[in-house]
Structure formats: structure tokens, C-alpha cells
A and B are shown apart, each in its own frame.
Chain A
């Protein structure tokens, strides 16, 4: 007994023209947003502005922050244990390189796949839970991985010293690149990170990405509109974890060994702080946050050991007074000025 409801509406002529104009403007879409191109441009020349290792770290953590923020800023789910994905990616990539002698490209793919699986497992156990529960559980799992790498699995992970003795890092395909040399390493990382940034942007601007934003805004309304919120969150977690794992694998290539610190809770905390610093409700904010944070860390650590205190105080100030972060606050001021003009 299915009743077909007729939704074709008869509209007056002038309204029809208006609608057509609006439809045209709404339909205009490019490949990616301006902000992404500008960022990619800046990152292209970055190694000539600051030290190359620092620039490489900014690239890697920038990717990590974007992946993290896809879950936090765009889906509204806080994970306090994202180091789990970063670290598992770092170790998966490193182990693939060390024990299976795969190419660097393969190690990146392996890292992404393994991390996606880990994220899927955690998602199955925890994604349905209320926000604070998920935050706690994610932290607990990250800590579990940390302790696993430290002690019982020491034989494979190298324990406290990290995963060492990774074979000499170089690319053979599509041409030979020596990844132990700073500049080629930077541009290799830039290439991978650049692609990943574009991919993440496209995902966020897709229909799926819009559903994530809706979930962030109002979960109940999203579900009432007919979307399976649990499945969407789960997928968001897997994507977020997978790209975090990619960042981790890149970090291992950069360092030349798999560091235990990638799994440490402070890594989870740092990425949260950097993301918030940049602005969690913008796309490119987290990258800016990473850049500023790491630059500051580099400069301030020269003068004092008390970097953690500075960071913590900064974070508290951020949460209290500038929750929109750098880019977010700038965006708001710009919008205010525009509407006043």
C-alpha cells in the first residue's frame, strides 16, 4: 500500500528565476579549497625558511593533526589516545621495513592498513559510547599499546630503545631518492602529505563529510534525518586512524627508527593541543597550530627545560579565552568585519 507523495511544487515565474540563479551558485565547486593550495604552497618553500628537520616534522605532525581533527573538529568525537594510531603506524611501517625488507612505499601502505584495522577494532568496542567514555577508552588503549611495545613485545619492538636497525632508507621507484639526506626526505614527505591533505579535504567536502559535520552539530537530529550515526562515526574513526598511521610511518622514515614515544600519552596530548591552537573548526587550522607549536617548542627549549609548563599554561589560556584557536579566531574576526562593511 505504498503512497507516492508528489513533491513537485508549482512555483511562480519570478521565484523560478531566483531559484535557478541560486542553484547555479550552489553548484559551483572546484577541486579543492583555496586555503589548501595556499598551505601547500607555503609548505613547498618551508625548508628554505626554517631548518629542514623541523620542516619535515611539521609536515608529519601536520598530517597527524589533520587526521586527528577529522574526528574531533569535524565529527565531534574526542579521542584522547590518538597516539595509538600514530605509534602503531610507526611500528608497522618500521617492522615491515626491518623484518620484511619491503620498499618504503609498501611500508606506508602496510602502516595504513594495519592502523585501519586497529582503529576498526577500537571502534567496534567503543564508538557507540558517550563522548567522555570514548575519550577514556581511547586513552586506555593507547596506553596499552605503549606498555605492550615497552615490555612484553620488547623482542620485536626494541622496547625502550625503539625499533632500530632499519635498512638504509631510499626510494627506487619512480626514481632513486636518498631518504637519509634532508632535502630529498623533505620533498618525499611533502609529496605524500600533500596527497593525503587533498584526500582528507575531499573526504570532508563529500556527502559523507557533511554527515560528519551534522553529527558534530547534533547527533540526534542527524539520526532522525535517516543517517546511521554509529556507522558514520566508525568510518570516520577508521579514516582518521589510518591517516594518523600514515603520519606515523612517515615519522619512522624521517627518524630512521621506530620511536616508543610515538605511543606515549604526551603525543596524544600534544596533537590535541596543536589542533586546538590552530583551530579545530577549520580545515587547515591544525596544520597552522602544528607549525606555530613546533616552532615555539624549538625556540623556547633552547632557553628552558620548562617547556611543558609553558605549553600547559598556554593550553589552559587557549581553552579559557581562545577556544577557536588561531585560524578560527582570525576567521571570525574577518567574518565580523565583512558583515559590518
Chain B
């Protein structure tokens, strides 16, 4: 198991956002997490990435306990994410956005050399931009990008940090159907080419069914069901709670 949680909980006062979730992920898998609104998907993601500290339970990555690690520590260990609301550096150029992400694996506190001198970091940034089809936009100011392009940029930034596990929180949110199809293919392509482990939170069932190896269904902070796409779409309880009683 590359990444697993054991009875992990996150309580906000009286609200039990995540209530005892056991989750496991093998290397190279593409696993999706689905569930109705408020099921705790984003909270769970935030637990995995270190944005929240768990109230109870443990999170293990490659055998090590990372439950109390901060977001930057988790990122350095190899789990990076994109956010539900796109988080990029608005006033910097597209290139600089990805370059900083790539730099995170190299150095943070070097203040005597020029940043541009780190050729390998520059190279990595350019390659990532090419991968997410933003190479031609590299000099544009990030805030000027379209919504879909910003999502791609964020994915690029998550990739530039050379993760072993990539967490994508609703990557196709706000995209048009055409953009969604493109993004789906890009994600699957990245997963295959780079042999990455990916965890996806998605609302769009077509995306989920098409590219997932495995699906986890959350409901009210607990696991409702788990299995491959066929198993899940046949599952009656899932149908009732989430898919609306019929495909």
C-alpha cells in the first residue's frame, strides 16, 4: 500500500465532516472519491494533504505515519494536490508559476544566486508546461488565463513538484463539456505516461467511470462503498444515495 488511512476522523466542533474512513491506495492506481455534497470528500483530501490535522485516526504514506505532518512536509514527501478553488499565483507569469513549484524540490533558502541560474529547474518547468499544453502561454500573466487554463496550470504546478501521489480536487469543475473531455484525457494520459498514483475527487460521473481503476463512495463522512466502476454502478445503495436510483 502506498497511501492508506485508518479510521481517520475530522470533527469541527459538533460537525463530523469525516467520521472513520479507511482508505488504501496502491502505487500506480487511479482512484476516485465520489459522494453527494457534504459527504466529506474535500475534507478528506485536506486531511491527506496535511491541510487539516486529523482529530482521530492515522494516515500512512509508504509505511510512515504522516498524520501530524504539515502541508509543506507532506508535499515534500511526495503527495501534492490541486484545490477545489484554483490556487495559483495570479500576478506571476505562467512560467514563473510552474518554475516556483519545480524549485520546491531544489531549494528554498538560497539567497545568493540568481534564480534564473538554476537551469534544471527552468527545464523542468518548461517540460511540465509542455505536458499540460500551456507552453505557448508561458509569458502570460496567470490571472489572465481562462478558467480551464488555470486548472491546467494548477495541475502543472502539482506535477512540477515531482509527486508520487497526485490529489486532484474536482479538476473539471467549471469546465465546459468539451473542456471536461480534454481534461479527462489529459489526466489519464499523465497517469499512464508518468506512472503516477492519482486520487480524484469528482462530481462528473462520466469522468469517474471512464478513467478510474477504483472508486470510493463517501456519505456523511463515512465510507459507503468501494470497488471498481462496474461494481459501484451496480451497487443499489450507491444508486439510491448518490446516482438518484438508476443510471
- Asked if chains A and B are in direct contact (CB within 8 A), the reply is yes
Query: Hey, which bits of chain A sit against chain B, CB under 8 A?
Result: 1-3, 5-7, 9, 11, 15, 18-19, 22-23, 26-29, 202-203, 205-211, 213-214, 217-218, 220-229, 231-232, 235, 281
Which listed residue (B76, B88, B117) contacts A27, Cβ 8 A? B117
Which residues of chain B (88-135) have a CB below 8 Å from chain A? 88-92, 95-96, 99-101, 103-119, 122-124, 126-127, 130-131, 135
Task: List, in ascending order, chain B residues with CB within 8 A of A29's CB.
Answer: 114, 116-117
Interface of A is mostly: helix
Measured CB to CB, the nearest residue on chain A to B117 is: A29
Cβ-based interface call for B204 (8 A)? no
Which of B27, B111, B161 has the largest number of chain A CB atoms within 10 A?
Answer: B111
Cβ-based interface call for B238 (8 A)? no
Cβ-based interface call for B202 (8 A)? no
Determine whether the beta carbon of B76 is less than 8 Å from that of A226: yes
| 27 sample A-B contacts, Cβ–Cβ < 8 Å, listed by A number | A3-B2, A3-B28, A3-B164, A9-B130, A11-B127, A19-B123, A203-B111, A206-B115, A207-B103, A207-B110, A207-B113, A207-B118, A208-B110, A208-B111, A209-B115, A210-B99, A218-B88, A220-B87, A223-B70, A223-B75, A225-B100, A225-B104, A226-B75, A226-B105, A227-B72, A229-B72, A231-B109
CB within 8 Å: A-B pair count: 150
Which listed residue (B111, B123, B138) contacts A209, Cβ 8 A? B111
Cβ-based interface call for B193 (8 A)? yes
Determine whether the beta carbon of A214 is less than 8 Å from that of B87: no
Q: Measured between alpha carbons, how far is A225 from B161 in the docked complex, in Å?
A: 7
Determine whether the beta carbon of B114 is less than 8 Å from that of A19: no
Q: Measured between alpha carbons, how far is A231 from B108 in the docked complex, in Å?
A: 10
Cβ-based interface call for B195 (8 A)? yes
Task: List, in ascending order, chain B residues with CB within 8 A of A209's CB.
Answer: 111, 115
Task: List, in ascending order, chain A residues with CB within 8 A of B195's CB.
Answer: 5-6
Task: List, in ascending order, chain A residues with CB within 8 A of B193's CB.
Answer: 9
Cβ-based interface call for B242 (8 A)? no
Cβ-based interface call for B162 (8 A)? yes
Q: Measured between alpha carbons, how far is A2 from B63 in the docked complex, in Å?
A: 10
Determine whether the beta carbon of B87 is less than 8 Å from that of A226: no
Task: List, in ascending order, chain A residues with CB within 8 A of B96's CB.
Answer: 210
Task: List, in ascending order, chain A residues with CB within 8 A of B99's CB.
Answer: 210
Query: Hey, which bits of chain B sit against chain A, CB under 8 A?
Result: 2, 27-28, 49, 51, 62-63, 70-72, 75-76, 80-81, 83, 87-92, 95-96, 99-101, 103-119, 122-124, 126-127, 130-131, 135, 138, 157, 161-164, 193-196
Which listed residue (A5, A23, A221) contacts B119, Cβ 8 A? A23
Q: Measured between alpha carbons, how far is A5 from B119 in the docked complex, in Å?
A: 21
Determine whether the beta carbon of B126 is less than 8 Å from that of A22: yes
Q: How far is the CB of B82 from chain A (nearest CB, A)?
A: 9
Determine whether the beta carbon of A227 is less than 8 Å from that of B113: no
Task: List, in ascending order, chain A residues with CB within 8 A of B112's CB.
Answer: 202, 206
Additional 8 contacts, C-beta under 8 A, given A1-B27, A7-B194, A232-B108:
A3-B2, A5-B163, A27-B119, A27-B122, A29-B116, A206-B114, A207-B108, A208-B110
Determine whether the beta carbon of B114 is less than 8 Å from that of A23: no
Determine whether the beta carbon of A5 is less than 8 Å from that of B164: yes
The 10 closest A-B pairs by CB, nearest first: A226-B75, A217-B89, A226-B104, A208-B111, A29-B116, A221-B87, A206-B111, A29-B114, A226-B76, A203-B111
Task: List, in ascending order, chain A residues with CB within 8 A of B89's CB.
Answer: 213-214, 217-218, 221
Q: Measured between alpha carbons, how far is A232 from B72 in the docked complex, in Å?
A: 12
Task: List, in ascending order, chain B residues with CB within 8 A of A5's CB.
Answer: 162-164, 194-196
Measured CB to CB, the nearest residue on chain B to A221 is: B87
Task: List, in ascending order, chain B residues with CB within 8 A of A210's CB.
Answer: 96, 99-100, 103, 115
Q: Measured between alpha carbons, how far is A227 from B99 in the docked complex, in Å?
A: 13
Q: Measured between alpha carbons, how far is A217 from B195 in the docked complex, in Å?
A: 31
Which of B115, B126, B161 has the largest number of chain A CB atoms within 10 A?
Answer: B115
Determine whether the beta carbon of A226 is less than 8 Å from that of B122: no
Task: List, in ascending order, chain B residues with CB within 8 A of A227's CB.
Answer: 72, 104, 108
Q: How far is the CB of A140 from chain B (nearest CB, A)?
A: 28
Determine whether the beta carbon of A207 is less than 8 Å from that of B106: yes
Q: How far is the CB of A290 from chain B (nearest CB, A)?
A: 24
Determine whether the beta carbon of B2 is less than 8 Å from that of A206: no
Q: Measured between alpha carbons, how far is A228 from B74 in the docked complex, in Å?
A: 11
Q: How far is the CB of A241 from chain B (nearest CB, A)?
A: 15
Task: List, in ascending order, chain B residues with CB within 8 A of A226's CB.
Answer: 72, 75-76, 80, 104-105, 161
Determine whether the beta carbon of A217 is less than 8 Å from that of B90: yes
Q: Measured between alpha carbons, how far is A3 from B63 in the docked complex, in Å?
A: 13
Task: List, in ascending order, chain B residues with CB within 8 A of A205's CB.
Answer: 114-116
Which listed residue (A2, A23, A211) contacts B126, Cβ 8 A? A23
Determine whether the beta carbon of B83 is less than 8 Å from that of A211: no
Determine whether the beta carbon of B27 is less than 8 Å from that of A3: yes
Task: List, in ascending order, chain A residues with CB within 8 A of B162's CB.
Answer: 5, 7
